[in-house]
Amino acid sequence: MLMTLSVVNIFAQTVDEVFDAHYKAAGGKELWDQVKTYTVKQSYVSNAPSDFEMEVKASIPEMSMLKTKSIMKRNFVYAVNPTDAFFRIPMGSRDKAIVYDTKDLSDKEKMNMKREITDMFAPFYNYQEKGYIATYVGLEVVGAQRLHHIELSGKDIKYDLYFDNITHLLTKQVEKLSTGEEITKEYTAYTTAANGIIYPSFGTYYSSIDKRNVKLTSAIVFNPIFDVVTFKR
């Protein structure tokens, strides 16, 4: 117990010191500040029929997002922009031409997607501007790792973030939603994007609802150019 306490006292830091160390390790904050748009391609694999791939396109200045979730070769589309929020569901059998049924997203779903636009790859980035409160919980020992634990609280969501004390990279993220669902992402590999930002590219995903360990693979392109109708109904 005394050893644990002494470790915490020696290495205790402010949340901004931990975040700044991460920005530096992940390419430098000046690169993050230049991000206006991004595309994320992800695979969720657990060798189950529910495995899926997802592509996300987002524009931060326009507060717009298009999310396409592909399950068993069928695409489910969700989109939000400043004036509209909708989703498209494929109808009919797979052996016929696909017809989509388009409906409005609920206010709750719209709010969640707008949050995802700025939280998708880094919920802690500009956290104060987003109205989040960040609290340094402490330095926790997990196996051979010492992890800075930070709690990030906002409206209808709370994040528990764990940063490696040596690499300064994010190794674990727990999302606690207002619905009661908890989503845990653990990152084991990082990749450098074309613009120099280093981001988590491989790890695991676990939902308290699905209760299944899923392999998560991600590829991010920063600042792609989108067509003017990308986020339109």
CA 134, CA 127: separation in Å to the nearest integer?
8
182: enclosing H helix or E strand: strand 182-192
- The whole-angstrom separation of Cα 122 and Cα 127 is 9
Rounded mean pLDDT, 170-178:
96
- Going by pLDDT thresholds of 50, 70 and 90, the confidence category of residue 95 is low
What is the average pLDDT value for the chain, to the nearest integer? 92
Alpha carbon distance 184, 207 (integer Å): 6
Residue labelled with tokens 């010492």: 146
**Higher pLDDT residue, 122 or 10?**
122
The mean per-residue pLDDT over the stretch 183-203 comes to: 97
| 192-217 mean pLDDT | 96
pLDDT, average across residues 183-192: 97
pLDDT tens by residue, 27-39: 999 999 999 999 9
Q: Provide the pLDDT confidence category of residue 50 given band limits of 50, 70 and 90.
A: confident
Q: Is the pLDDT of residue 181 over 60?
A: yes
Mean pLDDT, rounded, for 103-132: 94
Phi (first) and psi of residue 26, to 5 degrees:
-100, 20
45, 213 Cβ separation under 8 angstroms: no
* Number of other CB atoms surrounding residue 130 within 10 Å: 15
Assigned token pair, 93: 């059998």
- Torsion angles phi and psi, residue 219, rounded to 5: -135, 125
pLDDT of residue 9: 41
Q: Calculate mean pLDDT across residues 103-113.
A: 94
Q: Map tokens 């390790």 to a residue.
A: 25
Q: What is the pLDDT of residues 52-78, one digit of tens each?
A: 999 999 999 999 999 999 998 899 999
Above 60 in pLDDT, residue 115?
yes
User: Model pTM?
Assistant: 0.90
Q: Tell me yes or no: is domain 2-222 CATH 3.40.50.1580.
A: no
The mean pLDDT of 90-119, rounded to a whole number, is 89
Helix intervals (H) in 13-90: 15-25, 29-33
Question: Is residue 224 within 8 Å of 38, Cβ to Cβ?
Answer: yes
Question: Could you tell me the residue ranges of all domains in the chain?
Answer: 2-222
Instruction: Give the C-alpha separation, 69 to 173, whole Å.
Output: 22
Nearest to 162 by CA among 185, 196, 183: 185
Buried b (16+ CB within 10 A) or exposed e, 79-99: bbbeeebbbbebeeeeeeeee
- The owner of tokens 């489910």 is 76
Q: How confident is the model at residue 1 (pLDDT cuts 50, 70, 90)?
A: very low
96: pLDDT strictly greater than 80: no
Res 6 pLDDT > 60 = no
Distances (CA, A) of 86 to 40, 76, 176, 228: 20, 11, 24, 17
